[in-house]
Structure 1
Amino acid sequence: MEHPSDKPPSLLSDIRIIFATILTDPGSSLAYGADAVIAVTIVLFATSFEAGMTATLTAGGIVMSVYLIAVLAYNSMIRHHTHPVLGGGAFVSSLITSQHIRRHPRLKAFIHNMGKLGTASLLADFPATQAISLIAGVEALHFVAPDMNRLQWALVLVVLLSLIQRYGLGNLSRFMIWPVLAFYASNILINTFGIFQILQNGWHPPAIGEEVKGAGIEMFIPVVLASVANGATLMTGVEVGYSSVNIPYHKGRAIRISMWILFGLVLGTYFMQLINFMGLGIVYDSHIPVPIKIAEHLGGEYLAKGFGIITAIMLLLAAQTAQTDFPLEMLRAARSRFFPRGVGDMAWKRTRPAFLLGGHEGVYNPRATILLGILSAIILWLFPSSHAIEGMYGLAVVAAMNIDLTSYFLRQVRTRKFSLLTIVALLAMHAMFWNITYNKFFEGAWFIVVLMLLYFIVFQISEAIYEIWEEKLKVVPLELGLWYPAFQNHPVNRKHIVLVSKFHPGVVHFLRNFVRSGQMPLVVHFQSDPEENEPHELPDWFLNVPVPPDMDTITAINQFIRKEKPDRVHLVPLMVRGIGPILNLYFGNSIERLKYAISRHADLQVEYNRERIVLHPSDILLHIFPFLPARWFRVQEKLHE
C-alpha cells in the first residue's frame, strides 16, 4: 500500500503552494497598484473631480485590459510554447523559437541575443522587486511607526533577508499561505465595506490639499498615459507564472487556473480601491498608501495598523520570492554559458538550521544573495520610495513579456499559423513598453536599462570565454570515447567513480592507466545542458545523470555519491590560465567548490595532468568583435607569453 506522503499533490494543493510562493510578488502589487495610478492622476483631481475620476478609471481600465489580453495570450503560450525541461520564461521562449530555425543563421543569432536580453531583464527585475516590496512594506506601517526613517528600515530588511538565506527555513513554507490569505481577505472585506458605505451615504469626492498643484484639462491624455506607465506593475503575475510553469506537479493546468484566480482578485480589489478613494471623501496624503488610507478612513487608526502589518508581511514574502528566484535565474544563465559557473552554478552551499526554528537540509547561493542585496540597496538609495521604483519595475517586467511574445510570434510566422490574439498582445505590450520608456525613463527606468546592458556585456564575455575554451579543448568525440576498444570487455568497478564533463585527453589518459588493473571505473557525466544529446547506446561503464534545471550541479553530484557510496571519487580537471583572477569565477572556483563538496562524502582523488588551456584577453575581444584586425593583438600576446 502506498504511503500517503507518496501520493501526488492535488490540484488544489498545487494552487495553494503557487499562491504562497510563486504569486506572492504579483499579488502584493495590490498594496501599491492603485496608489501608483492615483499618484499621477491626483493633479487632475486638484483641478476637476470629473476629470480626475475619468482619468483614473480610464487608466485603470487600460491597465486591466492589457492584463486580460496578457493572461489570454500566456494561456496559449503555456499550452503550446514551453520547454519540457526548462519550462518557460523569456530566454526559454527565445530558445524554443531558435531551435526551429535552421536555414537563417542571422535570424537564429538575433533570437538568441533576444533571449539574452530576456534573461537580463529578469535578473534586473528581481532587485527592483525586492526594493519596491520592502520600501512599500515600510510605507504600509505608517500608522504603526509614523516617524520611522523608511529608507533605513528598508535597507535593514535587505540585510536581514540576505542573512537568513543561509538557514533552511523551508519548514515554515507551509504557513506562508495564511498571511497571503489574510492579505487578500482583508483587502476584499475592507474595500467591500467601503463600497457599501458609498451606496448608503452617497458619493463624497476626495479632499485634495493645496500642496498638490493642479493640471489643466489639456494634460488629460499625458496624465492618463503616465498613470498607465505607473500601473503596469499589476501584470507581473503573467510573466512569473509562465517562468514557473514546470514547478507545480500539475504544471500548466495549475499555473493557468492560478493566473485566472489572481486576475479575478486583482480586478475586483483594484477597482474597489479606486472607487473607494474617489467616493469615500478620503483626505489625500502622498506619504500614506491609498489602501492604508482607505482602512484608516473606514475603521480608524487601529484598523489601519492591523491592515498595515498584514500588508507589510505580504510584501516581505514578496521580497523573499526575489531571494529565491534570482539565484535560480543565475543558475539557468550559468548553465546557458551566459554567466560564470563559479557564481551561478558552483557557488551553492548547504543551509544551516536556524536557532529554535530548526530547518531543513537545503542549499543557497551566497554569491547570488550578496549581489542581489547590493543591487537592491543601490536601488533603494537612489530611489527611496515605491513611486520612484514603479517605473523601473514595470519596464523590466514588460521588457521580458515583449521578448516572450515576440519569440512566440516569430515561431508562428515560421509555421505560418498566425494567431490574432498573439498579434494583439504583442502590439499591446510594445505600446506599454514604449509608454513606460517615454514617461518613466528619466524617473528611474534608466537604471533598469543600464543594468540590462551591464548584464548583456557579462553574457557576451562569458559566452565567448566558454566557446573559446571549448574550441581549444582537444575533446575526443563522445561516441569514440565511449566505444574506445581498450575500455571494453572489462568488469565495472562501481567503487571507483570518475566524474567527467568532456572526454578530453586527460580523461582518456587516466582511463587507459586504470584499465591496466583489469577493471573499468564507473564514469559518470552529469548533464546540466538540456540541449546536449545523449547517445542512443551507452556502455555499461558509462552513466549519464540528468541534472534538474532547478538544482545546482554540486547538489546533484552529492546526492548521487551519497546514494552510490563509492570508495573513491576521481576528478580529472583540465587547468586553464590567463586573463587574471577573473578566470577563477569561470573555472577555478568550480573545481575548488567541487573538491570541497565531494571530500565531505567520499575519498577524493584529483588526477592532475599536463593538459593546459591558455586564454588571452585578445581571444575574447576577437571572438566578440571578429571584424577587429588580429595583428593588433599579436604583440601583446607575445609579451604575455
Structure 2
Amino acid sequence: MGIRSSDSAVADRNGADRKLMLVALGVVFGDIGTSPLYALRECFNPDHGIAVNEANILGLLSLILWSLVLVISIKYVGIVLRADNRGEGGVLALSTLVSTATPNWKLWGPVSAVGLFGAALFFGDGFVTPAISVLSAMEGLEVASPQLERFVLPGAVAVLTGLFLMQRHGTGAMGRLFGPVTLTWFLTLAALGLLHIGESPGVLLAINPMYAVHFFINNGGMGFVTLASVFLAVTGGEALYADMGHFGRAPIRKGWFMVVWPALVLNYFGQGALLMNNPLAVANPFYLLAPGWLLPLLIVLATCATIIASQAVISGVFSVTRQALNLGYLPRLRVKHSSEQEIGQVYVPTVNWLLFAGTLTLIISFRSSSALAGAYGIAISSTMLIDTILVMMLLRVRQEPHNRKMVALLTLILIAELAFFCSNLLKFDDGGWLPVLVAIGIYVLMSTWQEGRRTLAWLIAREQMPVRDFLSMIEKDPPLRVEGTAVYLAAEAGGMPRALLNNLKFNRVLHQRNVLLTFVRPEVPFVQSEERIEVQNLGEGLWRVTARYGFMETPNVVTALRGAEEKGLAYEPESTVYVVGRENPTFTTGSGMPLWRKRLFAFMGRNSQLAAIHFGVPSHRLLEVSSQVKL
C-alpha cells in the first residue's frame, strides 16, 4: 500500500510538472521561439555582403547552434537559474541578491546602479520586441502573394492595438491558450525543419564548431558584423531567468531541453538545407520552408506565436515595473491585479499605454522587421552582459569549491557575449540608439527618484522627534484626548511622523490610541507570514506596527492592521481615522542634486499615485496633512 501511495504521489508530481512546463512554453519561450522568423534571413542581409553558399550556410548554422549551447543551455539554464533570490529571477532580483551577499559595502552602490540600468534596458526591449515579432509574422503575407504587401503594416498595427487593449482584462483567459498554441508552434518548427533536412542531410555537418571558425576566416570583418544577426537567435534567453519565479527551475529546464532547443535547432538547420538547394529562398527562408497549401495556416500560427511572445515581454515589463515600484526606484503608479490566484499577473495602465505608443511609433517609422533588426540587439546584449557579470560576482562572493569552474566557464561565455555586444554596437546608427536612449531616459528617472527619496527621507529623519522625547512632552503637558484610533503612515520606523506632530501642534488634540504604521521593504521577493507583522506598545496609547512586504508583494493598510490585531492591537475600522502626511519639496541651489533633477523629482512626485490609494487606505476615513521640506 505504501509503495502504491508513493507511486501515486510521484505520478501526480510529474503530471503537475508537465502542466507547468506546458504553460511555461508560452510565457518563458515565446520570444526566443519566434526568432526563426527572421534570424537566419538577417544573417544573409544584402548589406552584410555574405554570399549564400554552402560554406557560409554551414558556418552561420554552426554559430547559431553553439550560441544557443553557450548562452542559453550552459549560461542561463545551467548556471544562472541557480542564482535565485528566494525563487525569483531577473536583473533587479539578482542585483539585490549580490548587494546583500557581498560584505564590501562600497560595492552596493555600483551593483545597484548596474542592476537598475539592466532593468532600464529591459524596458527598452519592451518597445522593440512586440514590433519586430508581429511585423515579421505579418510579412508572411508578402510570401503568400505580392499583392498582399500593402496589408502588412496595417495588419501589424491592428494586431498590436488589439493586444494592448486586451491588457486591462488580464492574461488569465489568454494564458490558458499560450501553452498549447506554443507547443503546436514548436512542433511545427521541428516538422518543417526535418522535412528539408531529410532532403539535404549534409547540413548536419554544421554541428562541427570548426565551420564557425572557417566562417570568420573566409569573411573577415563582415563576418564580425554578421554576429549581430546571429545574436537574434538567442534574444529572449533572458526571459528564462526573469520568469523563474512563476514556474521554478525544473519546468523551464525540461521545456528547454525536451521541446524548445531541439525544435529551434531543427528549424534553423532546415532553413539552411533549403538555402543549399535554393539560394533564392533567402528572401524569407522561414515561410518558404512550408508547402504552398500550408502557408496560410502557418501565417496564422506565426501571428499567434508572435502575439504570445509580445504578451510575455509586456507582462515581463509590468512585473519589472512592480519590482521597481516596491524597491523605491519609481514613483507610485496604479497597479491592477488581474488575477486573484496568480500574484505575478499585474497590469500597469501608464506603462501599458507608453509601450503601445512606443511600439506603434517604431512600426510606422521602420516599416519592416529587417529595418527594426538593427534596433533589437544592443539592449538585449547589454542585459545579458549585466546578468553574466552579476552572476560571476555572486559566485566569487560565495566562494564555494565548484564555483571556480563555473566562473571560468562564464568568463569564456562573457568573451562571446562581448563579441555580440560589439557587433551590435556597429548598428547603433541603424536604430540601435533607440532602445539605448529609452534605457538612459528610464535610468535617469529611476535614479533621480531613488536619490530624491533618499535625500527627502534623510531631511525628514533629521527633524524627527525621538519617541522618548514625545512621550516625555505629552506627559508634562497632556493634550486633549479624543475617542477612537488614529493610524499614521510613517516612512521610517524611528521617530515621530511629521503628520502627528503637526496635528498635535495646530489642533492640540490626540486620539486615545495612536498607531504608527511603517511598511518595510526587505530586499527579498516574499516575506513569510509569521515574519510580516511586528507590534510594539510604546506606552501612553502609542503603538508601533512594522509591516514587511517583499518586492513581489503589494502592501495594504487594512491587511496589515488585521495582522496586528492577531498580535494584540485592537482594531475597530469604523472608529479609526487614517492620517497620511504629504511632503511638498521646495528647491534650494548649491547643495544636493542639481536643480534640474530636483525639479524632475518634484514633477514625478506630483504625478505619482496618492500614498493613500497606493497603500489601500479607506478613503472615507482619510485625513491628509501637508508640510513643506527644503530639498
Bin of the TM-score, shorter chain as denominator length: 0.7 to 0.9
What code does the residue aligned with 1:266 have? L
SS of structure 1 residue aligned to 2:84: coil
What code does the residue aligned with 2:491 have? S
User: Is structure 2 residue 579 aligned with structure 1 residue 592?
Assistant: no
Q: Are the equivalent residues in 1 in contact too, given 2:487–2:514 (CA < 8 A)?
A: no
User: Is structure 2 residue 91 aligned with structure 1 residue 90?
Assistant: yes
The residue number in structure 2 matching 1:472 is: 459
- Over the matched positions of the two proteins, sequence identity in percent amounts to 17
Q: Any idea what the Cα deviations from partners look like across 1:29-59, whole Å, max 9, x if unmatched?
A: 222223222335994446xxxxx22122212
Shift of 1:127: 0.8
Q: Are the equivalent residues in 2 in contact too, given 1:499–1:571 (CA < 8 A)?
A: yes
With the length of structure 2 as denominator, give the TM-score of the two structures: 0.77
What code does the residue aligned with 1:160 have? G
The residue number in structure 2 matching 1:502 is: 492
Q: CA RMSD in A?
A: 4.2
Larger CA deviation: 472-481 vs 379-388: 472-481
- Alignment length, in residue pairs? 561
Shift of 1:368: 0.3
Q: Any idea what the Cα deviations from partners look like across 1:100-141, whole Å, max 9, x if unmatched?
A: 444462x44333322222112111111111111121121133
The residue number in structure 2 matching 1:449 is: 436
Match of 1:382 among 348, 353, 365: 365
User: Is structure 2 residue 625 aligned with structure 1 residue 608?
Assistant: yes
Separation in 2 of the partners of 1:371 and 1:524?
34
Shift of 1:538: 3.8
The residue number in structure 1 matching 2:300 is: 309
Q: 1:189 to 1:74 in 2, by over 3 A?
A: closer
Q: Any idea what the Cα deviations from partners look like across 1:332-386, whole Å, max 9, x if unmatched?
A: 22333333x13xxx3224669xxxxxxx997521110111122222322332221
The residue number in structure 1 matching 2:58 is: 57
Match of 1:18 among 24, 35, 40: 24
The residue number in structure 1 matching 2:585 is: 577
What code does the residue aligned with 2:578 have? H
Separation in 2 of the partners of 1:316 and 1:154?
10
Shift of 1:234: 2.1
SS of structure 2 residue aligned to 1:347: coil
Separation in 1 of the partners of 2:246 and 2:471?
40
| Pairing of 1:312-323 with structure 2 (within 5 A) | 312-323=303-314
Shift of 1:570: 0.6
SS of structure 1 residue aligned to 2:578: strand
The residue number in structure 1 matching 2:39 is: 33
Q: 1:224 to 1:583 in 2, by over 3 A?
A: closer
Larger CA deviation: 586-595 vs 112-121: 586-595
Larger CA deviation: 576-585 vs 383-392: 576-585
The residue number in structure 2 matching 1:400 is: 383
User: Is structure 2 residue 74 aligned with structure 1 residue 72?
Assistant: yes
Shift of 1:313: 0.9
Shift of 1:80: 4.2
Q: Any idea what the Cα deviations from partners look like across 1:191-210, whole Å, max 9, x if unmatched?
A: 222333447xx99xxxxxxx
SS of structure 2 residue aligned to 1:530: coil
Q: Any idea what the Cα deviations from partners look like across 1:541-560, whole Å, max 9, x if unmatched?
A: 5544443534555xx55766
Shift of 1:230: 0.8
Shift of 1:572: 1.8
Q: Are the equivalent residues in 1 in contact too, given 2:484–2:511 (CA < 8 A)?
A: no
The residue number in structure 1 matching 2:287 is: 292
Separation in 2 of the partners of 1:102 and 1:167?
45
Q: Any idea what the Cα deviations from partners look like across 1:169-212, whole Å, max 9, x if unmatched?
A: 5223212222212211222222222333447xx99xxxxxxxxx
Shift of 1:260: 2.9
Separation in 2 of the partners of 1:407 and 1:217?
30
Q: 1:434 to 1:570 in 2, by over 3 A?
A: same
The residue number in structure 2 matching 1:182 is: 184
Match of 1:252 among 249, 254, 258: 249
Shift of 1:396: 1.5
Shift of 1:304: 0.8
The residue number in structure 1 matching 2:595 is: none
Shift of 1:77: 3.7
The residue number in structure 2 matching 1:566 is: 573
Separation in 2 of the partners of 1:23 and 1:184?
10
Shift of 1:582: 5.2
Shift of 1:157: 3.1
Separation in 1 of the partners of 2:471 and 2:240?
47
The residue number in structure 1 matching 2:590 is: none
Q: 1:278 to 1:565 in 2, by over 3 A?
A: farther
Shift of 1:150: 2.7
Q: 1:430 to 1:581 in 2, by over 3 A?
A: closer
Q: Are the equivalent residues in 2 in contact too, given 1:94–1:403 (CA < 8 A)?
A: no
Q: 1:560 to 1:100 in 2, by over 3 A?
A: closer
What code does the residue aligned with 1:255 have? I
Separation in 2 of the partners of 1:33 and 1:325?
23
Q: Are the equivalent residues in 2 in contact too, given 1:115–1:403 (CA < 8 A)?
A: yes
Separation in 2 of the partners of 1:482 and 1:231?
66
Separation in 2 of the partners of 1:95 and 1:501?
21
Shift of 1:155: 3.0
Separation in 2 of the partners of 1:365 and 1:383?
27
Separation in 2 of the partners of 1:141 and 1:561?
58
Separation in 1 of the partners of 2:458 and 2:92?
25
Q: Are the equivalent residues in 2 in contact too, given 1:241–1:259 (CA < 8 A)?
A: no
Separation in 2 of the partners of 1:361 and 1:460?
25
The residue number in structure 1 matching 2:275 is: 277
The residue number in structure 2 matching 1:133 is: 133
With the length of structure 1 as denominator, give the TM-score of the two structures: 0.76
Q: Any idea what the Cα deviations from partners look like across 1:404-448, whole Å, max 9, x if unmatched?
A: 11122233444555332121111111121112213x222221222
What code does the residue aligned with 2:179 have? I
Shift of 1:569: 5.2
Q: Are the equivalent residues in 2 in contact too, given 1:277–1:290 (CA < 8 A)?
A: yes
Separation in 2 of the partners of 1:432 and 1:587?
39
SS of structure 2 residue aligned to 1:236: coil
SS of structure 2 residue aligned to 1:613: strand
Separation in 2 of the partners of 1:597 and 1:67?
44
Separation in 1 of the partners of 2:520 and 2:246?
20
Q: Any idea what the Cα deviations from partners look like across 1:305-356, whole Å, max 9, x if unmatched?
A: 11111011110111122221112222222333333x13xxx3224669xxxx
Q: 1:518 to 1:461 in 2, by over 3 A?
A: closer
The residue number in structure 1 matching 2:446 is: 459
What code does the residue aligned with 1:460 have? S
The residue number in structure 1 matching 2:3 is: none
Q: 1:485 to 1:72 in 2, by over 3 A?
A: farther
Q: 1:558 to 1:437 in 2, by over 3 A?
A: farther
The residue number in structure 1 matching 2:416 is: 428
The residue number in structure 2 matching 1:243 is: 242
What code does the residue aligned with 1:506 have? R
Shift of 1:401: 1.0
